[in-house]
Amino acid sequence: MTTTKTLLPALTAAVALAFSAPAADAQTFTVTGKFQYEDKAWDYNGWTGSDPILPIRRADVYVLNDATQAVLGSGSTGQDGTFSIEATSAGVVDISVRADCDSALEPTFQRIRVTTNGNSEYSTFSPVFNGHDTSNDLDVGTNTAGKILQGGEEANPFNLFDMGVHAWEYITGPLVGEGNANQTIRLYWPGGSGSFASGNDATIADDDGYDDAVILHEIGHVVHNKYSDSDNTGGSHFFGDSDQDPRLSFGEGYASFFAGTVFNQIGVEAIYMDANGASQSGGVGLRLRMETVSPYANDANGAADEVAVCCALYDLLDTENSPDGTPTTDDDLMVSTSVIGAGLSPHRAWWDTFEGPVASAANLTQNDAWDGWFSEHGKIGGLYDSVKDCFERLDQNNFEDVDEPNNTIGTATPTVVQTSSNWSGERTLFSGDPAPGTGDEDWYAHELVKGSDLLFRTRYPGASTDADTQVDTFLELFDPSGVLVLSDEDSGTGRNAFIDSFVVTETGTWTVRIKRGGTASYRRYGTYNYRAKHNFENFVPLITSGPTAMPTSILDTETSDITVTATDAQTLTYAWSTPDGGTILGSGASVTFDPPPVGVSTGFRVQVVAMDSLGAESALAEVIVTVDPSGGTCGQSAAVASGGVGKAGLLGIPTLSTTNLPVVPSSDHSLDASGFIPFTSGTMIFGLSLVSAPFDQGTMYPSPDILIPMLSDGLGNAGFPIVVPNDPILCGLHLWAQAMFANDPGAIGSKQTAQTNYVELTFGS
């Protein structure tokens, strides 16, 4: 017989568990039947209008003496809701059977209870079978627990119970293989206006009694509490918010993910659905397709978004075979053939991470799910590319950006500052291979000119107004010597840094460091954009020509005019300097150099820097002016002396004389030979010493160090001009000279040389 009875709270535990003492003629008989409940079907569009009948599974069943409520036998329902219980009584008894929202009688299964807030456990009853002869077995038929109402909201406590059963069948089943929690799991209904969980307990709101996803979500919180450790901050949260506390986002995202994973196991699409309990069709309040992230596909990003956390975790465990509307395909690399480490399925691999590193993490966020996975399974065994794919598509970029390594001032990324919108690409505060990535900081180097006015700032990726990241940037500005000048954490939008109207005080390489701010303990990773922008850009003045000296060589009693040409948008001033001595007369682009007295020829540097009105300076430029002593190049006086006796030729004894003195420097000095036969060849002999050696019956006075050919003119004369260079090495030099002409028919000796006297030259001033 099939009956539908309204659910009633069970009697007190003392009555419910009291067994009657059998009479002397008590006998055993078998009571069979089935319990089921009226469900409420839903899909992505809310309630479908259908109320399917489902079996009540793993529930405690008691055979009762209806008159005394004494328990005659007990057991549990099977997967199809049926039961078969051995009862003991005597004679004729009024029999009823009660099924409780409790799994206490399942010895190897997790105990789950559904009660009112007043701790009264929900039960459903069969009809009363009056006057049953206990010598016969009894089939109580199929009994259906119908809906009940709370303030106009529909629910069924056995639906809550069934969700708890599904949850622990997943946990203790072959995919995970974990044991039962060590305490009773309690579900309360009706719970008022909102559902929530605490410790072992989940309270389900008045209108959520048929919202399977909500029920499993709250059970997910309980699972988190019992098997791992949650740092969920609680408080207000909602889908579509990518700027939550990442500890809250992980706690809520995990709970929704858990619901989706249980759905996946029982062949239901992983949809989070919260609908109005009083509606018979539709009534959607909140929904999410975990595989496609619909309707938040364009908004759910980052570890501070509970939808993004949920869907990234779900991608770790779903496969191409999941009942998600895309059979045989998956949108990530973690598929049915994926094996983690030494033969683990993704479900067990995640559970080991969940119970291990995740449970011990402080300020638990999605970062710790990433770190924990690779801490537990390694980069290779953990299928790095597959896990990265699951996280990356939801902008949980737990990997190094394109600028790495740039986590020191010495490896700062060279970055051009512009006056337009020059935001960087997406950058991450993550450095590690593959985990943990904590401790990263990014450095940027900028070539800046004194007087420029700049701003430095970060923003959420892509200028998102909803963060899409957990990052909390802290920006520091360092001058060219590496000294910290300014810093900021939250002057920008949200958690972003912003320094504006900074005037550069020194031309050179300035650096910016971006690191995590004061919430670094739970915002360890994350993404951002960075920009440095000119409000006003100053430029270094450019020297286009010069400096030029006129003349370039002067005596120390003279001056040289120095000019330079430079360009700039501003009025320029010029800073002249003479590091080697001397004085600059005048100012501006044209000045006069007045040298100091010198004893020897000296080069003097004249340097100039062009500077604009904001203090920006050109590169240093210089010219060299050569300054000679006003009395010559050396202190010794130039002199000429004659000596020795010549040897006669046809025209008599030739002579050697000089024109002017050998002054250093000069170009008007010459040696003049005369008295030779016209148009004949001869030789000028120069020596560095006087040897006075016999030669061709005459005397060769200089050592023959240098021999230079000569030719007499029509008068028998031969001039030898000497240009004396401005070289201090010549100062004080002694040089002897003598002229000889061979083949003179009037000269004696085998070579018939006509020979002059010698001349001693002393080079000087």
Q: Tens of pLDDT along 201-254?
A: 999 999 999 999 999 999 999 999 999 999 999 999 999 999 999 999 999 999
Tell me: pLDDT of 19 over 50: no
Which is more confidently placed, 649 or 11?
649
pLDDT tens-place string over residues 636-660:
788 999 999 999 999 999 999 999 9
Please check the confidence at residue 1 and state whether its pLDDT lies above 60: no
pLDDT at 469: 95
In a domain, 634, yes or no: no
Please check whether residue 515 lies inside any domain of the structure.
yes
* pLDDT at residue 21 is higher than 60: no
Report how far residue 312's alpha carbon sits from residue 335's, in angstroms, rounded to the nearest whole number. 14
Kindly report, residue by residue over 244-282, the tens digit of the pLDDT: 999 999 999 999 999 999 999 999 999 999 998 888 999
At 20 the pLDDT is 42
Q: What is the pLDDT of residue 635?
A: 62
Q: How confident is the model at residue 403 (pLDDT cuts 50, 70, 90)?
A: very high
393 part of a folded domain:
no
Tell me the pLDDT tens digit for each residue of 710-719.
999 999 999 9
Q: Which pairing describes strands 112-115 and 185-188: parallel, antiparallel, or unpaired?
A: parallel
How does DSSP assign 46-99, residue by residue?
A: EEES---EEE--S-EEEEEETTTTEEEEEEE--TTSEEEEEEEE-SEEEEEEEE
Residues 101 and 59: beta-carbon distance below 8 Å: yes
Considering the domain architecture, whether residues 343 and 370 belong to the same structural domain is answered as: yes
- In a shared domain, residues 554 and 521: no
pLDDT exceeds 90 at position 114: yes
Residue 731 half-sphere exposure toward CB, CA atoms < 13 A: 16
pLDDT greater than 80 at residue 115? yes
CA–CA separation, 76 vs 84, rounded Å? 8
**Cα separation, 577 vs 605, whole angstroms:** 8
Decide if 475 contacts 456 (C-beta within 8 A). yes
609 and 501 part of one domain = no
Query: How many CB atoms lie under 10 A from the CB of residue 168?
Result: 23
The pLDDT-based confidence of 664 (bands split at 50, 70, 90) is: confident
What is 307-337 written as a DSSP string? HHHHHHHHHHH--TTSSSS-TT--SSS--TT
446 in the same domain as 413: yes
Residues 430 and 512 in one domain: yes
In terms of domains, do 144 and 205 share one? no
**Strands laid side by side in the 185-188 sheet:** 112-115, 185-188, 201-203, 196-198
pLDDT band at 326 (very low <50, low <70, confident <90, very high): confident
Is position 350 within any domain?
A: yes
Domain end point (choices 150, 168, 201): 150
The pTM for the full model equals 0.77
The answer, yes or no, to whether residue 44 has pLDDT greater than 90, is: yes
| pLDDT at residue 314 is higher than 70 | yes
726-764 residue pLDDT tens: 887 788 889 999 999 999 999 999 999 999 999 999 998
- The two beta strands, 201-203 and 185-188, are parallel
* Spatial contact of 96 and 132, defined as CB atoms under 8 Å apart: no
- Residue 122: C-alpha distances to residues 11, 31, 113, 667 (Å): 10, 21, 9, 128
- Is 75 part of a structural domain of the chain? yes
Q: Over the stretch 166-176, which tens digit does the pLDDT of each residue have?
A: 999 999 999 99
> What's the confidence (pLDDT) of residue 9?
44
Q: What does the mean pLDDT of the chain come to?
A: 93
752 within some domain: yes
pLDDT digits (tens, 9 = 90+) for 351-374: 999 999 999 999 999 999 999 999
Mean pLDDT for the stretch of residues 434-459: 94
End-to-end CA distance of the chain: 142
Q: Report pLDDT for 12.
A: 35
Task: Render pLDDT for 495-524 as a digit per residue (tens, 0 to 9).
Answer: 999 999 999 999 999 999 999 998 888 999
Q: Note the pLDDT tens digit of each residue in 119-145.
A: 999 999 999 999 999 999 999 999 999
631 pLDDT band (50/70/90 cuts)?
Answer: low
Range of the domain at 574: 542-628
User: How far are the Cα atoms of 62, 371, 452 from residue 419, in angstroms, in the given order?
Assistant: 81, 40, 11
Residue 141, pLDDT score: 98
Which tokens is 490 given?
Answer: 């939250």
Task: Quote the number of domains for the chain.
Answer: 5
DSSP per-residue codes, 195-255:
-EEETTEEE--GGGTT-HHHHHHHHHHHHHHHHS------S---TT---S-HHHHHHHHHH
User: Residue 80: which CATH number?
Assistant: 2.60.40.10
Tokens 């590319």 sit at which residue? 385
Distance in angstroms (rounded) separating the CA atoms of residues 738 and 668: 19
Q: Is residue 386 part of a domain?
A: no
CA angle 129, 133, 136 (to 5 degrees): 100
Q: What is the pLDDT of residue 636?
A: 74
Cβ-Cβ contacts under 8 Å for 82 (sequence gap 6 or more): 32, 33, 34, 55
Residues 200 and 322 in one domain: yes
- Cα separations in angstroms, 137 against 33, 89, 477, 533: 11, 12, 87, 89
Q: 536, 561, 582 — which closes off a domain?
A: 536
Q: What is the pLDDT of residue 310?
A: 98
CA distances from 623 to 549, 580, 593 (A): 7, 12, 11
Average pLDDT over residues 420-438: 89
Residues 211, 328, single domain; the answer is yes
Three-state DSSP state, 521: coil
Provide mean pLDDT across the span 672-700: 94
Statement to judge: residues 326 and 268 lie in one domain: yes
Q: What is the pLDDT of residue 490?
A: 94
The residue with greater pLDDT, 325 or 634, is 325
Q: Examine the domain organization and report whether 270 and 203 are in the same domain.
A: yes
Q: Is residue 387 part of a domain?
A: no
Which residues, at least 6 apart from 212, have a Cβ–Cβ distance to it below 8 Å? 42, 159, 163, 259, 263, 273
Domain end marker among 536, 563, 581: 536
> Does the pLDDT at position 402 exceed 90?
yes
Clarify whether residues 343 and 243 are in a common domain.
yes
Judgement on whether residues 583 and 732 belong to the same structural domain of the protein: no
